[in-house]
Amino acid sequence: MTTIRWGIIGCGDVTEVKSGPGLQKARGSALVAVMRRNVELAEDYARRHGVPRWYDDAQALIDDPEVDAVYVATPPSSHKHYTLLAAAAGKPVYVEKPMALNYGECEEMIAACRASGVPLFVAYYRRALPRFVKVKELLDGGAIGAVRFVKIVLHQPARPNELDPASLPWRVQPEIAGGGHFVDLASHTLDLLDYALGSIRAAQGFAGNQAGLYPAEDMVTGSFVFRSGVQGVGVWCFSAYAAHDSVEIVGERGQLSFSTFGVDDPVRLVTPNGDCEFYIPHPPHVQQPLIQTVVDELLGLGRCPSTGESAARTSWVMDRMLGGDFPSP
């Protein structure tokens, strides 16, 4: 096999720019089919993106003999269902983040793919973005010496589309999203730290709903300890007066700081020798670098850094901060 032919289940907003074109532009990759429950929207996407086939039934796409691998781009509430269907058909799965509604579902997905002998990848694409690869390179190279602690601060104002309880977006409906914006956004930062500093062995937190705009939490504070002994704290608030996004990694000889979501913000290195800033732009399709690693692994040419096992660890940490009580992975 020289080309991995993809089918997308759920060709919604995330697939328009972030991921769909990446499946088409990655080396050794092609997008051959898409599925959406509204067949007219599926056809519209296919025609606009030059995809030859479209479906309104996920099983039909999975059973398509010309689909080699399946990308699940639906909300988290259906990630497990579609992953299990693809695994049963013997097809590799690339699933959106967060991986599932909770860590328990992640375990089921991993077990099903392992039993079927197919790989499972998760779209924590910051693991392959050049800006954050630079962060890992600096840490691995000893730029700040031994790491001591991490501090995460993310706060945002409430969004206008969250003010009408009759038409809330799915991202703040826990039965669909697994939580609120914490689950959607904090997952990126926590997974990135798992990639850069290793896995977290203990986590705890407090979650609350301070503004009362929707059923999900809008406030989380947490603390965590990596297996290496590095400690961390975080605060996430989604009903604050203004937006702020910062991650600080403090070591024995310096500090690295960056934002998880800022497009133009630099990676900043501060040491006794002075300050240094690295301005590294994102590519046009932010998932394409990670997609390339997925394709390379499926073709036997490399390894993808974001697996079901790594993504499940992030779900476990979030569950702990939200009050869940799963054993440590």
163-188 pLDDT, tens digit per residue, is 888 899 999 999 999 999 999 999 99
Same domain, 77 and 11: yes
pTM value? 0.96
CA distances for 82 relative to 39, 223, 251, 265, 302, angstroms: 18, 33, 42, 36, 26
Strand partners, 259: none
| 57 and 175 share one domain | no
- The range of the structural domain enclosing residue 184 comes to 130-281
Structure tokens at 26: 């990655």
Runs of H (alpha helix) within 164-281: 174-177, 181, 187-197
The CA-atom distances, in angstroms, between 241 and each of 76, 181, 235 are: 29, 16, 15
What's the pLDDT score for residue 163?
A: 85
Give the whole-angstrom CA distance, residue 193 versus residue 187: 10
Look at residue 317 and tell me if it is in a domain.
no
Clarify whether residues 273 and 299 are in a common domain: no
Distance of CA 42 to the CA centre of its chain: 24
Residue 91 in this model has a pLDDT that exceeds 60: yes
Q: Report the share of the chain in percent with pLDDT over 70.
A: 98
H runs (alpha helix) in 117-243: 130-140, 174-177, 181, 187-197
- Residue 248 located in a structural domain: yes
Q: Label residue 84 by pLDDT band (50, 70, 90).
A: very high
Number of structural domains, the chain?
2
Say if 157 falls within a structural domain. yes
**pLDDT tens digits, residue range 57-74?**
999 999 999 999 999 999
Model confidence pLDDT, tens digit, residues 283-312 = 999 999 999 999 999 999 999 999 999 999
| Mean pLDDT, the chain, whole residue set | 97
CB contact burial 2-21 (16+ within 10 A = b; e otherwise): eebbbbbbbbeebbeebbbb
3-state class (DSSP) for residue 70: strand
Give the separation between CA 192 and CA 11, rounded to whole angstroms: 25
The answer on 64 and 181 residing in a single domain is no
d(CA 77, CA 56): 18
How many whole angstroms separate alpha carbon 241 and alpha carbon 238? 9
Query: Residues 111, 156: one domain?
Result: no
Does a structural domain hold residue 208? yes
Q: Distance (Å, rounded) from C-alpha 112 to C-alpha 116?
A: 6
Q: How far is CA 42 from CA 50, 150, 209, in A?
A: 12, 43, 36
From the CB of residue 281, how many other CB atoms can be counted at a distance below 10 Å?
10
Judge whether 209 lies within some domain: yes
Give me Rg for the CA atoms of the chain: 20
78 & 144 share domain:
no
Does residue 320 sit within a domain?
no
Which among 297, 329, 315 is positioned nearest to 120, based on CA atoms?
Answer: 297
Residue 83 sits in a domain of what CATH number? Answer: 3.40.50.720
- Looking at residue 327, what is its pLDDT? 59
Same domain membership, residue 184 and residue 137? yes
Q: Is 324 domain-assigned?
A: no
**C-alpha to C-alpha distance for 215 and 246, rounded to whole angstroms:** 26
Cross-strand partners of 75: none
User: Do residues 210 and 251 both lie within one domain?
Assistant: yes
Q: Do 104 and 159 belong together in one domain?
A: no
The reported pLDDT for the residue numbered 324 is 58
Say yes or no to pLDDT of 245 above 90: yes
Instruction: For residues 44 and 57, state if they share a domain.
Output: yes
Does residue 95 lie in a domain region? Answer: yes
- 97-110, pLDDT tens digit by residue? 999 999 999 999 99
- CA separation for the pair 171, 98 (Å, rounded): 11
Same domain, 139 and 276: yes
Q: Supply the CATH number for residue 173's domain.
A: 3.30.360.10
Say whether both 49 and 153 belong to one domain.
Answer: no
Query: Which pLDDT does position 323 carry in this prediction?
Result: 87
